[in-house]
Amino acid sequence: MEKLILASASPRRREIFNMMGLDFEVIASNSEPETNTKIDIETALLEVARAKAFDIYSKNEGRVVVGADTVVYKDGVILEKPKDKDDAFSMLKMLSGDKHSVYTAVYVFSKDGEKGFVSKSDVEFYELSDSEIENYIKTEEYKDKAGGYAIQGKAFRFVKAIYGDFYNIVGFPAAEFLRFMNF
């Protein structure tokens, strides 16, 4: 099989692709479309992942290009990457003591056509005190993380339960992708 192109600058996705043992290169997409909040979350995320993949595929036709987009979703609100410490605090406060969903849309372009899927995992957090949240934010781990936390990092201590694929929460549903692609 030819080398895949991962249309993402995410170091977490790169780690997951390495873990899957795939032959790939990274060509980060410059496309950052807004998530359409007027349609259902899964369709909106597929549109974003498709745009990222197409941005790279249009310059590498015939190659297999994989784009993805991950968001945290709670009570109809999309929690993307926090803008700053205050935004991260607000997000973590919102997630405290409750369940939320993590969605990752994956979209693939190849010479055989295009296809995509959405993976959903639910995460339940313990009740978090303001000082717990503030101490976490001081680590700066929240930066560049959907929902303001890294489950694979120091935020593991917030997690009461996971329902679904752990790697989806990290940023890419590895097992589902391998099955989707018949690898």
Give residue-wise pLDDT tens across range 54-75: 999 999 989 999 999 999 999 9
Averaged pLDDT for residues 39-48? 96
Q: What percent of the chain has pLDDT over 70?
A: 99
d(CA 95, CA 148): 10
Given a cut of 80, whether residue 128 has pLDDT beyond it is: yes
pLDDT at 146: 92
Given a cut of 70, whether residue 77 has pLDDT beyond it is: yes
Residue in 23, 55, 69, 112 annotated catalytic: 69
Given a cut of 70, whether residue 1 has pLDDT beyond it is: no
d(CA 63, CA 144): 28
Domains of the chain: 4-180 (3.90.950.10)
Model-wide pTM > 0.85: yes
Asked about 69 being catalytic, the answer comes back as yes
